Amino acid sequence: MLRRIGKKTKLLPKLLNLFPQDIKTFIDLFMGSGAVSFAMVDRVKYIIANDNDSDIFNLFMVIRNQKDELIKSIKMMPIHQDLFMYWKKNYEHDPIWKATRFLMLSNFGKFGGSGTLGFGNENSKSILLVHIDEIFQRIECIQFMNCDFRDVLQKITNRDKNKNKTFVYADPPYLDTKNNYQHSFKIQDTRDLFDLLVSSGLRFAISEFDNPKILKLSDTYKLKVTILGERQNIKNRRTEVLITNYEPIQISLFNE
């Protein structure tokens, strides 16, 4: 639903293929658009999805609790440059309008960014409303959190006693990349993420680019690095990797 930089929709078949098959509790430390968490709904018993971005948390809470009001707000929303630029500079505090503003900036920006309003042949508003209904059908299966990734695991008090059945997925803002996330990642954040996951004793996977700093950290902790493929945009081409503390079993080498 959200046109977020780094969204995993296209990579989902390959990504899910590399996750363990016996997960009971799935913890998503950086849920972002929610693509991975929603894809896990029929695969695991418990899903805990976190994001430190209050706009993301508010959006999914509004879809869960005030869907009809949000749909009405989106239908009323003019796709207009003046409104787009106003919302770039001004915040909303009402949950419905906060969610509407966030969707405007995330979904109607040129090339999926928040720089300027973009126009195309598709009816983006109608597509967005369909996605909201689809998410509403699956959202009850997910527990949402809104905190720093460092605090997530310690806040989960009812964690499954069997650590082998719990799996943590991390898709943070990628190191050394410019993005439109509310919170960018620094090298110390990345080190903290690796330290947290390695010390947790849980199986985990981290999505990143093949940044030399990332590969060095992976080597330091003796982690596995699996190439997922190239991601290309107007400015550059980068290789996306999955870093794990287990040996991923690929069902098919040609899974796209």
Confidence of residue 10 (pLDDT cuts 50, 70, 90): confident
Q: Which CATH architecture has domain 12-53+146-244?
A: 3-Layer(aba) Sandwich (3.40)
Provide CB contacts within 8 A for 137, sequence distance 6+: none
Are 175 and 109 in contact, with CB atoms under 8 Å apart? no
Task: List the one residue out of 39, 32, 45 whose CA is nearest residue 3.
Answer: 32
Pairing relationship of beta strands 166-170 and 203-209 according to DSSP bridges:
parallel
User: In degrees to the nearest 10, what's the CA dihedral of 56, 158, 160, 246?
Assistant: 40
- Per domain, the residue ranges of the chain are 12-53+146-244, 64-136
**Residue listed under structure tokens 């029929």:** 42
Give pLDDT, residue 169.
98
Residue 5: left (phi > 0), alpha (psi -120 to 50), or beta? beta
pLDDT over 60 (residue 5): no
Mean pLDDT of the chain: 87
Are 107 and 131 in contact, with CB atoms under 8 Å apart? no
Identify the residue with better confidence: 30 or 160.
30
Work out whether the CA dihedral 54, 56, 59, 63 comes out positive or negative: negative
pLDDT over 90 (residue 221): yes
